[in-house]
Amino acid sequence: MLTLKLALRNLLGAGLRTWLNVFVLSLSYVVIIYIHGMLDGWDVQAKSDMMHWQTGQGQLWQKNYDPLDPFTLQESFATIPGELIPSVESGDLAPVLITMASFYPEGRIQSILLKGISENQQVVEIPTAAFSGGGADIPAVIGKRMAEANKITVGDLVTVRWRDANGTFDAADVRIAAIFNSNVPTIDAGQIWIPLRRLQTMLSAPGKATYFISKKSELLNYSGSDWVSKDLKSLTAEIDQIIKTKSFGSSIMYVVLLLLAMLAIFDTQVLTIFRRQREIGTQIALGMTRWQVVRLFTAEGAMNAVLAALLAAVYGIPFLASQAASGIAMPATTDTMGLAIADKIFPVYSLGLIGVTIVVVLVTSTIVSYIPSRRIAKMNPTEAIKGKIQ
């Protein structure tokens, strides 16, 4: 305790030099927590949006289905198993049927994915309720990106051409019943959603589906030979990989900030030991051991990190809290990146993140302070009192 009191007194007595070091270290705290909090917030939001709009609690895929290979779609649907029909009828399981198609907005041709989804599903937030009351027209819903890219509005008729299970081409008009706004582009761009039964009839594939979206994770335990279970972790693996890559890139900035702060502390310790040789010699002459003096100077360097944490709390907590409340606006171009990114990202600052950051900076500061302080153990107290450099 005496060592800490002496260290704090000596540190505060150094004046401006101490506070410059403390300020640089406090920036390291705030920047590291801010960037990590933003990435964690993106991770939480992206997975939440994907769960509500695309993945549910997991999916069952037809064994030939590969979302990255649209040419497999003609072979990647199978009959809905009888064991799953009660869950489908109750809305807990949403079957989806997919086929490649073309549509003709304003006389142009564009390749799309035509997707059928059950009208009574209660798993994802795609507005399938808009399918009811369509009359003789085929009702369809599309995403905001799709609508803006092709200048489509609610009520428009769009011609769609497809090929059925027998290889026969056919075409029909679909009426846009609703346009939804989602942060998940993988259910929006280049896609038109229509009622499942309509698409089954159009493809001559009655009672068939490409995959199921589940509202309950226990429904993924179905073990039919034609179906493969996909849990949330596998469905959101792409987001995890992107976050990991971003975190690695951000670590370069952390290292640079820490190196600048540690360099300042190291230089300060070297200068302090040089200027306070007589004090060091006097302390040893009065009965302190060399290693007690080493611990004193090491504690002074480590106290920089403690004071920096307190300073960071003074201006960092209001700043980080305001960002968590108001969110961080994303550029408009992120909407076209194909990733689940909201218009605003709300950072998430966990106690684990804050604690790890404080410990890393504190341990690093202590090590950097100890390195030049080791020289004290080799000092001759008589020569040190005289102020002679050894």
Residues 218, 150: Cα–Cα separation, whole Å? 40
Q: Where are the domains positioned within the chain? A: 2-52+238-385, 58-215
**What's the predicted TM-score (pTM) here?**
0.76
Residues 302, 305: Cα–Cα separation, whole Å? 6
Residues 135, 77: Cα–Cα separation, whole Å? 27
Q: Quick check: 213 and 59 in contact, CB under 8 A? A: yes
Please give the backbone phi and psi of residue 340, each rounded to the nearest 5 degrees, phi first. Answer: -80, 90
pLDDT in tens, the chain (390 residues): 545 565 666 666 566 666 777 887 888 888 888 888 888 888 888 888 888 999 889 999 999 998 888 888 888 888 998 888 888 888 889 999 999 999 888 778 888 999 999 888 889 999 998 888 656 689 999 998 899 888 889 988 888 999 988 888 999 989 999 999 988 888 888 899 999 999 999 998 999 999 999 988 888 888 778 899 998 888 888 888 877 777 776 777 777 777 777 777 777 767 666 666 666 666 666 666 667 777 777 777 777 788 888 888 999 899 999 988 888 877 666 666 656 677 788 888 888 888 888 888 888 888 887 777 666 655 555 655 555 545
Q: Where are the beta strands (DSSP E) in 259-365?
A: 328-329, 344-345
What are 173's strand-pairing partners? 159
Tokens of 382: 């008589």
What number of other Cβ atoms are within 10 A of residue 196's Cβ? 26
Residues 83, 87: Cα–Cα separation, whole Å? 8
What is the torsion angle, in degrees rounded to the nearest 10, for the CA atoms of residue 193, residue 197, residue 203 and residue 206? 150
Residue of 223, 133, 122, 241 lying closest to 178 (CA atoms): 133
